[in-house]
Chains A and B, each alone.
Chain A
Amino acid sequence: MNVAQTIPNDRIDTDELTRRLEALSRFLRVVDPYLPDSDLVAAHTLVERASGRLTLSLDHTVVALAGSTGSGKSSLFNALARFKLSPVGVRRPTTGNAHAVVWGPLEPANRLLDWVGVLPRQRFVRESALDGDDEAALRGLVLLDLPDFDSIERGHQLEVDRLLGLVDQIVWVVDPQKYGDRVLHQAYLSQFATHSGVTIVVLNQADRLSPADTEVVVADLTRLLAEDGLTDTPVIASSAKQPGMLRDLRSALEDTVANRQAALRRLSADLDVIGDELGSMFGPPAAEDEVDRATVRQLSESLSASAGVAGVADATAGAYRHRASAATGWPLLRGLRRLRPDPLRKLHLAEPVKTDSVSTDVVPRTSVPEADAAQKSAVGLSVRAVADRAAAPLPEIWTPALNTAARSRAGDLPDALDRAVAQTDLGLEKPPAWWRAVGILQWVLLTAAGAGLVWLILGYALAALGLPEIDGVQVGSVPLPTLLLLTGLAGGLLLWLLIRPIIEAGARRAGRRAEQRLRSAITEVGRVHVVAPVREVLHAYAQAREAVGVVRSE
């Protein structure tokens, strides 16, 4: 049984391992706010353990002897150490705490044993001047004798589970009576199926079987191990009672110690397991612009409806009409127009809010009515649509994160919408020049009519008082004052009639323009408050996916 051949010889690159571990920590940092903690426990544990193990001595190899009660772990431990260090007994279960023996000086291994959690009084040093170089080949080996995992003492099992997570290499000690036990295969060996590089299975108490039976049993054990998934694990027959039967195990341990690879191999195998586990959280790559235009347009539609954009646009058109009439109407009737309210003023939107970096003014709240139930429903539906759209290509585990992200700023939406409406330049603050021109023209015409009227009245008064008439200037057959009065009045009226369609067209245009500007402001609000948080999650997904790719690389 040449063991050295069955142990994989490919060496693990420390830099590569560090790179994968860093990728794993990066992954954990990125997904921390988005994925449920319960799915990340194993990864967190591994990062912690790996950083612990890698800072400690890599010249030492921690090997654990694990097995059922009565399989002879302690006897094997003592036989390997060639001293009676761990108590051996016929009463079951025997060992309750782990014992450790260190080949070589104890001092450098002490921190490692502190980390593993072996009590100081259960640490022993193997190697003294008496041995000469007999034990030199095992220098650097830290051998642990674990408690059993299948006795009625539950505490033993918990201790074993803890220690198995920390050691570099595991030697499973089974015996001819118990090698087919369910608890051994289902709860332990199959869990370490991916760790065949750091696993050795020892059939102990082989002295109780005839050599022929030993081979049969080893073959059956190998079959059971293959069923557990441990196909290339070395199986070694040994016995603590006959020193000759320990040779294979000893040389396997010597190889392990000489290679100084077990710790790295263990972590690498752990990383493989975690990498596969995490791999299921990722599907195809998701572009950050996964949220398509149609969805965003739908969102901005419903947000616009909820913010009352149509109403504000109508009010803007009304205000245009109102102000244009006030500026260009027949001057005598303008006063009446002023008595009616400006529609925008009613919405508290009459003066556009000027905001820049230095302004400390508070953006005043508008009086646009609050959204009704149907509009709120519509907003809810389209926000949900954004999350659903983004979640479609991703594995299900990301759905809650996307839903939460899409709604993360939902509480701020009403205020943000109102603010956007209040800050949007509706395009009315500067009256067009032609209003002024028409206004002046109206005044000119009115003045002409007034002058004509005064002239006429003056003429009549002079005639009544018998004073000499002013010489009538005649334009054609019509006297000038009459002409002035009539032209002034008719001109004003005509002008007003003429520009009404122009005002109407202008009002419509102003309404449309306001609606456009409002919509783009609202779309921006939607982007910032709904789409951006979703994109953040998608970004995290892409980053985490890349990190897991590094973790999984062989």
Chain B
Amino acid sequence: MKAVINPSDRTGGGQVRPANLEVPPQLERLATGLSRLRAALGSASYPLELPSADEARRVGSALTAQLDDYLLPRLSRLDAPLLVVVGGSTGAGKSTLVNSLVQTPVSTAGVLRPTTRSPVLVVHPDDLPFFAPGPGGILPGLTRTGQSSSAPDAIQVIAAPTIGPGLALLDAPDIDSVVDHNRKLAAQLLAAADLWLFVTTAARYADAVPWEMLTTARLRGTVIALVLDRVPPDAVGDIAAHLGEMLTANELGSAPLFVLPETELDQRGLLPDAAIGPMRVWFAQLAEDANARFTVVRQTLNGALAALTPATEGLADAVDDQVRTARSLDERVEAAYRTARRVAEDGLRDGRLLRGEVMARWQEFVGTGDLIRGLESRVGHLRDRLIAAVSGRPTPSHNLRVAMESQLVTLMRGVAADAAEQAYAAWQAHPAGQVLLNPDLQHSSADLPQRADRLVRDWQQWVLELVRTEAGDKRAVARGAAYAANGAGLAVMIAVFTSTAFIPTGLEVAAGAGSAVAGQKVLEAIFGDQAIRTLATRARAELLTRVEELLAAEAARFTGLTAAVHQEAARGALLRQTAAEVEKAREELALTGSGS
């Protein structure tokens, strides 16, 4: 049994300046910076499911916990006792080790895995006030109990005079058992450690999980000491050498390493004095030497502060990643709806929309002389209404409007359905987008037909109003025939779909569209060619605006899902800024003397 203490033990303490317990102004600045960073961390969220988001959520909550549990309380009480957290795998013998160090069975040891469920804190009776619960203290989120408790987030505090004042031992739960809560609690406790006493065994020292934790601790600058427990006596040299190699390879070569051979426990369940002796001496020295203790505290504190900047930088990058992804998702949706808009625009421009039903109605309308009659006098209108009332048949102009309505509504429904499908497929192909989707988004919204219908009717109303006001001083209309305005309005609507004039194509001529040309001529004669065209241009622009609004509302069903992310953009900058402030204050404070 031999304790291998690394010669380059950092706690040697010869070159360290005497502890200065005054609160310098830099400390004040650092505390302010940390509080602001804490606020910035608390407000950052990562709504999109990205590879970086999982990591960022984890790191973010770990940082928040570390600030609350350790950094803020530790900065406010630099003179608090050195907190040694004993952590490691399940079954490594942590509890036995703690019991043996304080020479009292304070923590339950046993054969069942995992054994320790609620952490046990052992402190000197004089130091008890430092670990009082409540805000501002170490680990404020955990409740203190007098005895072992199975309640989550409870910590058992035991006063033991066998431990020197200025030192506190915390027996943490395991880091790798099936009990998930244990792992989380252990990680939280380790983040609050001034010194991490990492316990592993001969069977475990190459496990992947503890090495991940060790690497995290190293990156965070925590001072680490290792205990290699349960070593078969005949393999001490071999295993200690191998572990030493592994530590050096992982840049942990300077950590003190204690080797405890597999031995029989005494009647109290403690390790025999011969085995635990060197460690107890080491801890006793540490308890007596305030400077050495303070150096450890400062080093871990400095390391934790220094690690904040790269960690926060990573979080800010994750935030940027979120914003970038949200933009790219939005871009996909916009592309889909841009196509829809263009199809609708082309459909309205190329005039072919008039064929079929609309054309037939128009011919009906013109062919029956309805238009001329309507333009000429109100009598015609009255007569039409009379006929319609008697015969129960709708007047031709009514038919025309209905046909046009259904054509436009169909067009809009078609492009909206295509766009929704395209946007859905585009998001489906993106891992972050896939999570946001719900089956409803596959189709255009359920009330789209009604809204499109409403849109067309509103637009028709608008066109009629336009014609009424624009053509108000025209003599033909000035006769006051409301019906005339109706007829002219229809004409304008139709002109909207035809860029210049009617160019009868095969089918129209075949179906006897000569009258359509005649109709156009009639209109031109009444309003003047230019006036019709101007009105048509304005009516077309108005219709397109309305269609765009409708499609924008459809696209918003997608982009609304990423809207929350865009608010994150400022948070990334805030994170970077506060982290830089903390880093500046840390350098000014020069916790480790040399400012490194």
| Chain A interface (Cβ < 8 Å from any Cβ of B) | 68-71, 90-93, 150-154, 175-183, 185-186, 209, 213, 216-217, 220, 224, 227, 305, 308, 310-311, 314-315, 318, 343, 346-347, 367-370, 372-378, 380-381, 384, 388, 396, 399, 403
Contacts and interface: CB of A to CB of B under 8 A. Distances in A.
Nearest to B206: A92
A224 B230 CA distance: 25
Q: Which 7 pairs of residues, A with B, have the shortest CB-CB distance? A: A377-B414, A373-B347, A70-B203, A180-B113, A92-B206, A372-B352, A177-B91
Interface string B340-363: 000110111010111110001000
A227 B177 CA distance: 14
Contact of B113 (A179, A209, A346): A179
A180 to B, nearest CB: 3
Given A69-B206, A217-B111, A369 B506 contact: yes
Interface stretch (B473-481, B508-516, B535-543, B581-589): B508-516
A220 B415 contact: no
B407 interface: yes
Nearest to B425: A400
A151 B207 contact: yes
B354 to A, nearest CB: 8
A399 B344 CA distance: 27
Contacts, number: 180
Contacts of B505: 369
Contacts of A367: 506
B512 A92 contact: no
For chain B, give the interface size range. 35 or more
Contacts of A92: 202-207, 242
Nearest to B112: A220
10 contacts: A90-B202, A90-B239, A178-B113, A179-B113, A182-B180, A182-B209, A346-B509, A347-B510, A380-B414, A384-B417
A90 B235 contact: yes
Contacts of A343: 510-511
Given A368-B507, A373-B343, A178 B204 contact: yes
B411 A152 contact: no
Contact of B176 (A91, A176, A183, A216): A183
A213 B206 contact: no
Nearest to B114: A180
Contact of B183 (A70, A182, A209, A305): A182
User: Considering residues B91, B178, B344, B417, which has the most beta carbons from chain A within 10 angstroms of its beta carbon?
Assistant: B178
Contacts of A370: 352
Interface string B418-432: 100100000000000
Contact of A377 (B178, B356, B415): B415
Contacts of A377: 347, 410-415
Interface in B329-384: 343-344, 346-348, 350, 352-356, 360
Contacts of A373: 343-344, 346-348, 350, 352-353, 411, 414
B343 A91 contact: no
Interface string B473-512: 0000000000000000000000000000000011101111
Q: Which label, helix, strand, loop or mixed, suits the secondary structure of the A interface? A: helix
A413 to B, nearest CB: 15
Given A378-B410, A381-B414, A69 B510 contact: no
Given A69-B207, A220-B113, A308-B356, 12 more contacts: A69-B204, A90-B235, A152-B211, A176-B113, A177-B201, A180-B90, A213-B111, A310-B360, A370-B352, A373-B414, A377-B414, A377-B415
Given A373-B352, A374-B411, A178 B510 contact: no
Given A90-B238, A370-B352, A151 B206 contact: yes
A90 B232 contact: yes
Contacts of A150: 207-209
Contacts of B207: 68-69, 92, 150-152
Contacts of B183: 182
B494 to A, nearest CB: 14
B356 A216 contact: no
Contacts of A305: 356
B311 to A, nearest CB: 23
B408 interface: yes
B512 to A, nearest CB: 7
Nearest to A314: B511
Contacts of B238: 90-91
Given A216-B111, A220-B113, A381 B410 contact: yes
A437 B528 CA distance: 53
A344 B391 CA distance: 35
Contact of A369 (B90, B113, B355): B355
B241 to A, nearest CB: 9
B91 A180 contact: yes
Contact of A372 (B177, B353, B415, B417): B353
Interface of B: 89-92, 111-114, 176-180, 183, 201-209, 211, 230, 232, 235, 238-239, 242, 343-344, 346-348, 350, 352-356, 360, 407-408, 410-415, 417-418, 421, 439, 442-443, 505-507, 509-512
B248 to A, nearest CB: 14
A346 B510 contact: yes
Nearest to A343: B510
Nearest to A385: B417
B356 A375 contact: yes
B114 A374 contact: no
A151 B202 CA distance: 13
A181 B507 contact: no
B403 to A, nearest CB: 10
B356 A310 contact: yes
Contact of B178 (A69, A224, A380): A224
Contacts of A213: 111
A368 B352 CA distance: 13
Given A372-B352, A373-B346, A381-B414, A315 B205 contact: no
Contacts of A346: 506, 509-510
Given A92-B204, A369-B352, A373-B344, A308 B177 contact: no
A151 B206 CA distance: 5
B418 A380 contact: yes
Nearest to A189: B178
Nearest to B439: A396
Nearest to A366: B506
Nearest to A302: B410
A74 to B, nearest CB: 13
A151 B205 CA distance: 9
A128 B42 CA distance: 70
Contact of A216 (B112, B209, B353, B511): B112
A220 B112 CA distance: 7
Nearest to A370: B352
Nearest to A190: B178
Contacts of B203: 68-71, 92, 175, 177-178
Contacts of B201: 70, 177
Nearest to A399: B442
A375 B354 CA distance: 11
Nearest to A92: B206
Contact of A180 (B177, B411, B507): B177
A364 to B, nearest CB: 15
Contacts of B511: 311, 314-315, 318, 343
A146 to B, nearest CB: 16
Contacts of A185: 178
A227 B180 CA distance: 14
B212 to A, nearest CB: 9
Between A151, A175, A182, A227, the greatest number of chain B beta carbons within 10 A of the residue's beta carbon is seen for A182
B433 to A, nearest CB: 15
Given A216-B112, A346-B510, A373-B346, A181 B177 contact: yes
B355 A372 contact: yes
A220 B344 CA distance: 69
A227 B179 CA distance: 12
A61 B509 CA distance: 85
Given A92-B204, A182-B183, A374-B408, A369 B507 contact: yes
